[in-house]
């Protein structure tokens, strides 16, 4: 298994490149392109992998097999819901920055040409509030299981400074529906101020996996299995973008029983 915390490879360009092979699993891929200038380009497309292109910040022209989408409103991931573009497996996509642009390319196995490309605008997302008190956080569903796709589940979450998230600890690492689904997951973290930091723990019941990581602006954390809570320190809100995929496209999780009391 790869190291679970991945630092940005460079300040700009192709900042992250997580593949199933590099992560040591079978489904989720994650790429982050930081394009600092209008006119900068990222492109790709794979015959057997669908993608969800999420504009973390900035504006872009995105072409998918001849269809053009003008996307993006926010200039920070803390400024409201995102624009995204879905591209089916086999589609070739081309992203041209219209402003400074941070764009995530989330990928998972797909069926070639199974559905058309589409724009996912802010009005197409589902904005939620979860938890209470210092466990309050604000998810936005970009590509939930109710939206058409082959494998991908994509959501972003804002966690205020001093709050916890993905908490009480939960896991989704057993293919045992309807009780629980098996989903690999990546977290891409950003902070409301670039010097911000927080913590994420990834651990199993038997502690055969038990890592607690400092997370800083731009980090990716891999969650191959186990529980994976996040803590934001005071003064620094956390944004994270989650990508999940597995054998079946549904999110059914199991809470750590010793912490489940707080949901009562």
Q: How many other C-beta atoms lie within 10 A of the C-beta of residue 178?
A: 7
Domains in the chain: ranges and CATH: 5-263 (2.60.120.10)
Residues in the chain: 264
Kind and range of the H or E run holding 6: strand 5-6
Q: How far is CA 256 from CA 33, 179, 227, 249, in A?
A: 35, 14, 8, 22
Per-residue model confidence as pLDDT tens digits over 122-135: 999 999 999 999 99
For the question of whether the overall pTM of this predicted structure is more than 0.95, the answer is yes
Q: Tell me how far apart the alpha carbons of residues 117 and 114 are, in angstroms, rounded to a whole number.
A: 10
> Which pLDDT value is given to residue 193?
98
Contact (CB, 8 A) for 84 and 95 = no
Nearest to 190 by CA among 239, 151, 153: 239
Per-residue model confidence as pLDDT tens digits over 211-227: 999 999 999 999 999 99
Is the pLDDT confidence value at 169 over 90? Answer: yes
> Which pLDDT value is given to residue 115?
96
* Residue whose pair of structure tokens reads 């992203």 in the numeric block: 95
> Which pLDDT value is given to residue 55?
98
Q: Tell me how far apart the alpha carbons of residues 95 and 70 are, in angstroms, rounded to a whole number.
A: 10
Is the pLDDT confidence value at 1 over 70? Answer: no
Sequence-ordered strand ranges (E) for 66-182 = 67-71, 84-87, 93-97, 101-109, 118-120, 126-127, 138-143, 153-159, 164-165, 170-171, 173-176, 180-182
Q: How far is CA 85 from CA 18, 116, 230, in A?
A: 19, 11, 27
> Which pLDDT value is given to residue 264?
85
Per-residue model confidence as pLDDT tens digits over 13-64: 999 999 999 999 999 999 999 999 999 999 999 999 999 999 999 999 999 9
Kind and range of the H or E run holding 20: helix 20-23
**Beta 84-87 vs 49-57: how paired, if at all?**
antiparallel
Is the pLDDT confidence value at 2 over 70? Answer: no
User: Across the chain, what does the average pLDDT equal?
Assistant: 97
Q: How far is CA 121 from CA 33, 44, 46, 114, 130, in A?
A: 20, 22, 24, 21, 22
């Amino acid at each position: 298994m790869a190291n679970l915390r991945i630092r940005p490879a460079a300040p700009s360009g192709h900042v992250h490149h997580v593949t199933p092979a590099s992560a040591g699993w079978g489904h989720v891929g994650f790429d982050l392109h930081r394009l600092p200038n209008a006119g900068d380009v990222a492109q790709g497309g794979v015959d057997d992998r669908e993608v969800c292109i999420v504009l973390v910040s900035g504006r872009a022209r995105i072409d998918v097999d001849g269809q053009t989408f003008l996307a993006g409103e926010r200039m920070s991931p803390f400024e409201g819901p995102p624009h995204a573009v879905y591209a089916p497996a086999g589609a070739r996509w081309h992203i041209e920055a219209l402003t400074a642009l941070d764009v995530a390319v989330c990928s998972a196995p797909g069926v070639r040409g199974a559905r058309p490309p589409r724009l996912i605008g802010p009005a197409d997302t589902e904005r939620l509030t979860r938890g209470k008190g210092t466990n309050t956080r604000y998810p936005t569903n970009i590509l939930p299981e109710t939206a058409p796709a082959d494998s991908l589940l994509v959501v972003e979450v804002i966690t205020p400074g001093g709050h916890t998230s993905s908490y009480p600890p939960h896991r989704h690492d057993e293919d045992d529906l309807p009780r629980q689904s098996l989903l690999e997951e990546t977290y891409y973290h950003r902070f409301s101020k670039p010097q911000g930091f927080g913590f994420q723990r990834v651990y199993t019941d038997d502690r055969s996996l038990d890592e607690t990581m400092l997370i800083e602006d731009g980090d990716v954390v891999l969650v191959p299995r186990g529980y994976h809570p996040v803590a934001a320190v005071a003064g620094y809100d956390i944004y994270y973008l989650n990508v999940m995929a597995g054998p079946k496209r549904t999110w059914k999780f199991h809470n750590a029983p010793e912490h489940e009391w707080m949901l009562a």
